């Protein structure tokens, strides 16, 4: 339920800011989305990857556990893929089969000590 409320809030804020919205997609310039996620939801980027289609996939997480996944196209337009809470990091397996600490396994503002 909180997930849908949060998604609705993002869509409403995007609409007020003049960001392109539709039922299927919420898109805006990447810089606008990043500012919105940081200022409104306290989220910062913790991971990113390049898709085989040339899209930048980014994960933003806040210390409270809320998260957002953005897909950014080469033309600079970013679209909301999904959002929710809580975000939990799984340990990465090393080559010997044991678990290792992933570099982004600590949330912003927390220490891994």
pLDDT at 102 over 60: no
- Binned at pLDDT 50, 70 and 90, residue 26 comes out as confident
Instruction: Say yes or no to pLDDT of 93 above 80.
Output: no
Average pLDDT over residues 79-96: 79
Which tokens sit at 3? Answer: 């997930």
Backbone angle region of 87, left / alpha / beta, with phi > 0 → left and psi within -120 to 50 → alpha: beta
Domain boundaries along the sequence of the chain: 2-100
Indicate the average pLDDT of the chain. Answer: 76
> What span, in angstroms and rounded, lies between the C-alpha atoms of 45 and 70?
10
Q: Are residues 112 and 89 in contact, defined by beta-carbon separation less than 8 angstroms? A: no
């Amino acid at each position: 339920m909180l997930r849908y409320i949060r998604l609705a809030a993002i869509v409403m804020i995007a609409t007020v800011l003049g960001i392109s919205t539709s039922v299927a997609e919420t898109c805006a310039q990447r810089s606008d989305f990043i500012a919105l996620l940081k200022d409104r939801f306290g989220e910062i980027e913790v991971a990113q990857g390049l898709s085989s289609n040339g899209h930048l996939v980014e994960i933003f997480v806040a210390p409270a556990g809320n998260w957002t996944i953005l897909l950014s196209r080469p033309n600079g337009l970013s679209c909301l893929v999904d959002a929710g809470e809580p975000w939990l990091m799984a340990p990465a397996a090393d080559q010997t089969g044991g678990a290792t600490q992933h570099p982004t396994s600590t949330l912003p503002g927390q220490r891994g000590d």
